[in-house]
């Protein structure tokens, strides 16, 4: 059975533990585990990004509306 890296989608050989392209550990038959691990990180990153964008826009508004 051919496996694919969950991170970079490269084709893995059977028996590979690590992805030779990006070094990600391959979980055998459990792609959901990696997805669950990555979900909170990306969510937090998105919230931080939104906050930064709001702060930048607010700063620009304060700067131009003075």
The correct pick among 16, 18, 22, 38 for binding Zn ion (CB under 5 A) is: 22
The window from 14-22, 25-33, 38-46, 51-59 that contacts Zn ion (CB under 5 A) reads 14-22
Are 6 and 35 in contact, with CB atoms under 8 Å apart? yes
Which of the ranges 19-27, 33-41, 44-52, 58-66 carries the binding residues for Zn ion, by CB under 5 A? 19-27
User: What's the rounded Cα separation, in Å, for the pair 42 and 8?
Assistant: 16
CA distances from 32 to 7, 36, 40 (A): 12, 6, 13
Site of interaction with Zn ion (CB under 5 A): 5, 7-8, 19, 21-22, 24
């Amino acid at each position: 059975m051919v496996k694919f890296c969950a991170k970079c989608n490269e084709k893995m050989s059977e028996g590979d533990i690590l992805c030779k392209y990006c070094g990600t550990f391959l979980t055998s038959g459990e792609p959901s585990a990696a997805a669950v691990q990555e979900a909170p990180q990306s969510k937090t990153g998105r919230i931080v990004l939104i906050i930064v964008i709001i702060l930048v826009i607010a700063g620009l508004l304060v700067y131009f509306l003075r």
